[in-house]
């Protein structure tokens, strides 16, 4: 399995606290038709920290059924407990998803050796599922080092990393020092274009929920060597990049999708609706982009 292109970290639509399956199907169909390479299910954008284990596996299975092998389905199965991450990875593998994304253990602040052993355990205690590292130091309080990623990339089933540090020097080193078939994906929409410029392979995106065709066009433009078009698209999206950071993800993106008529605005506590001040600002950004 090769990771390249645009992957969208999808939201989880709810209705009265339950997964809104019909809404989810309609929403995924629109993304599939946009030309993206795949989706990431139950990530931060999908409110993974607030949903139950049963809801995780239900979403893995449902997503795979809806997609029906038209694009790749990546399941987020990360946890700060190694035992829990191994369990959830095994459950994801049973559902037939294409790969598993696993976050650097959060809150406990492990050493680099602890991080390596955590990921090695996930690799050694599961069967055939391809594995992806997820580095997001702004949420985990720990930054996985290049040397640790290089060690992990030597393990057979680690195929890539979602790198959300926005450190392009680090990205350059990841590309240079990992094996050729190891993919480095952006975890930040605003640094997608710079990441491609230093040899990165794609993105796991939030803005892709709202402007998937534009993001795919940006990627394709870079691949064709048409940097001017890529810059034009990136510039067009800049106000939305900023708007999606008004409050913690996925609050702004779920509000935007609600305004676009795709999902309800319902979130799992402790997440709450986008504040009224930011609602007005988001509405204006969406209007300026002719999205509402």
Residue 102 belongs to a domain = yes
First to last CA, the chain: 37
Instruction: Please say whether the beta carbons of 144 and 171 come within 8 A.
Output: no
Residue 35 belongs to a domain = yes
Q: For the chain, what is the domain count?
A: 1
Q: Tell me what pLDDT residue 152 has.
A: 97
Q: Does position 28 have pLDDT exceeding 90, yes or no?
A: yes
Looking at the whole model, is its pTM more than 0.85?
A: yes
| Mean pLDDT, residues 106-123 taken together | 95
pLDDT (tens digit, 9 = 90+) per residue, 138-172? 888 899 999 999 999 999 999 999 999 888 999 99
Q: Tell me what pLDDT residue 102 has.
A: 95
Residue 214 belongs to a domain = yes
Residue 58 belongs to a domain = yes
| Mean pLDDT, residues 124-147 taken together | 93
Residue 268 belongs to a domain = no
Residue 125 belongs to a domain = yes
- For the annotated catalytic residues, the residue numbers are 134, 162
Q: Tell me what pLDDT residue 31 has.
A: 97
Q: Does position 256 have pLDDT exceeding 90, yes or no?
A: yes
Residue 163 belongs to a domain = yes
| Boundaries of domain holding 135 | 5-226
Determine how many CB atoms are found less than 10 A away from the CB of residue 286.
19
Phi, psi of 72 (to 5 degrees): -80, 145
Q: Does position 87 have pLDDT exceeding 90, yes or no?
A: yes
Q: Tell me what pLDDT residue 165 has.
A: 85
Q: What is the DSSP string of 110-168?
A: --HHHHHHHHHHHHHTS-S--EEEEE-HHHHS----HHHHHHHHTSTTEEEEEE-S--H
Closest CA to 24 of 61, 50, 72: 61
Say which CATH number the domain at 184 has.
3.20.20.70
Residue 63 belongs to a domain = yes
Q: Tell me what pLDDT residue 139 has.
A: 85
Q: Tell me what pLDDT residue 232 has.
A: 97
Q: What percent of the chain has pLDDT over 70?
A: 100
Q: Tell me what pLDDT residue 123 has.
A: 96
Q: What percent of the chain has pLDDT over 90?
A: 93
């Amino acid at each position: 399995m090769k990771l390249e292109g645009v992957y969208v970290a999808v939201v989880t639509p709810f209705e009265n606290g339950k997964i809104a399956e019909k809404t989810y199907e309609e929403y995924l169909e629109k993304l599939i038709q946009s030309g993206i390479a795949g989706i990431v299910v139950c990530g931060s954008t999908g409110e993974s920290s607030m949903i139950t284990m049963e809801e995780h596996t239900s979403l893995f299975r449902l997503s795979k059924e809806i997609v029906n092998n038209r694009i790749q389905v990546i399941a987020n199965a990360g946890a700060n407990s190694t035992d829990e991450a191994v369990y959830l990875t095994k459950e994801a593998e049973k559902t037939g998803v294409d790969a598993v994304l696993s976050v650097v253990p959060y809150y406990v602040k492990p050493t680099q050796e602890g991080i390596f052993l955590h990921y090695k355990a996930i690799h050694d205690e599961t069967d055939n599922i391809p594995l992806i590292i997820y580095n997001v130091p702004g949420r985990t309080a720990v930054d996985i080092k290049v040397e640790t990623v290089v060690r992990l990339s030597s393990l057979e089933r680690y195929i890539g990393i979602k790198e959300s540090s926005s450190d392009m020097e680090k990205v350059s080193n990841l590309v240079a020092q990992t094996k050729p078939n190891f993919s480095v994906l952006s975890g930040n929409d605003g640094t997608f274009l710079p990441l491609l410029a230093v040899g990165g392979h794609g993105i796991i995106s939030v803005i892709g929920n709202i402007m998937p065709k534009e993001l795919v066009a940006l990627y394709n433009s870079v691949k064709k060597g048409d940097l001017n078009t890529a810059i034009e698209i990136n510039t067009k999206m800049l106000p939305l990049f900023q708007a999606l950071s008004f409050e913690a993800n996925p609050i702004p993106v779920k509000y935007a999708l609600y305004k676009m008529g795709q999902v309800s605005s319902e979130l799992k506590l402790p997440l709450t609706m986008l504040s009224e001040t930011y609602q007005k600002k988001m509405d204006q950004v969406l209007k300026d982009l002719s999205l509402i």
